[in-house]
Amino acid sequence: MKITISNTKSELGAKAAMTGAGIIREAIKTNGAANIIVATGASQFEMLNELVRQDVDWSRVTAFHLDEYIGIPETHPASFRKYLKERFAAKVSLQEFHYVDGETDPDAECRRLGEIIGKHPIDVAFVGIGENGHLAFNDPPADFETDEPYLVVSLDEQCRRQQWGEGWFPTLDDVPEQAISMSVKQIMKSKTIICSVPDVRKAEAVKGSVEGKVTPLVPASVLQQHKAVWIYLDNDSASLLD
């Protein structure tokens, strides 16, 4: 696990994007194509803004995303499909993007995506860490054991409050209680992981994930067990580290 602390969110995003783009270019050079996972949320704004500017042959890249609310249409301001199309897919010419559709049968969608991602070994996963330590929408206590690539999860109150607090929903009651999420094991199958985590509100979760014991109660702590993880923090999110 390599930790880089930046002075600003913009600097954090630029460094994370440069590292990730380098990994993508190397995968294309070696294999002729690259497969990636792209995260969403306020923590990824700066990273994605820089990633789309990188010199990458995006026509050789297939992308997946981590999660989506169940029952939210793509037109909803909080839709992660909407987020990724506007902030990423519309700005690069990808080979393909396999979106999570939260408006169809959730179990069938998990099976569909599981079959697809099983044929696409992931070269780099761009992820974040939630205020409750979640990884994707795997809230504590997370399921570290399931081999299913995608699963239906329930969102805890702290997670839902984060989504409301970031301005994606007008009230807490509007935040859905369930989502489709990529599983912890599937994320950990990625050859490399780039984790971008700005803001002081993430400081406690960062400390638990980086310096605490590996536990489902702090889902992102599992990153300690991956052999190739880069974690990008700013001074605020790193403020509680020893």
Instruction: Give 24-50 as a 3 state SS string.
Output: HHHHHHHHCCEEEEECCCHHHHHHHHH
CB atoms within 10 A of CB 62: 19
Domains defined for the chain, CATH in brackets: 2-234 (3.40.50.1360)
Least Cα distance to 200 among 165, 228, 224, 169 occurs for 165
Tell me how far apart the alpha carbons of residues 72 and 159 are, in angstroms, rounded to a whole number.
Answer: 16
Question: Which residues of the chain fall below pLDDT 70?
Answer: none
* pLDDT given at position 178: 97
Least Cα distance to 220 among 190, 186, 195 occurs for 195
**pTM reported for the whole predicted model:** 0.95
Contact status, residue 98 vs residue 62, Cβ threshold 8 Å: yes
The dihedral of CA 217, 135, 175, 10: what is its sign?
Answer: positive
* pLDDT given at position 209: 98
* pLDDT given at position 42: 87
* pLDDT given at position 41: 87
Region label for 133, one of left (φ > 0), alpha (ψ between -120 and 50) or beta (otherwise): left
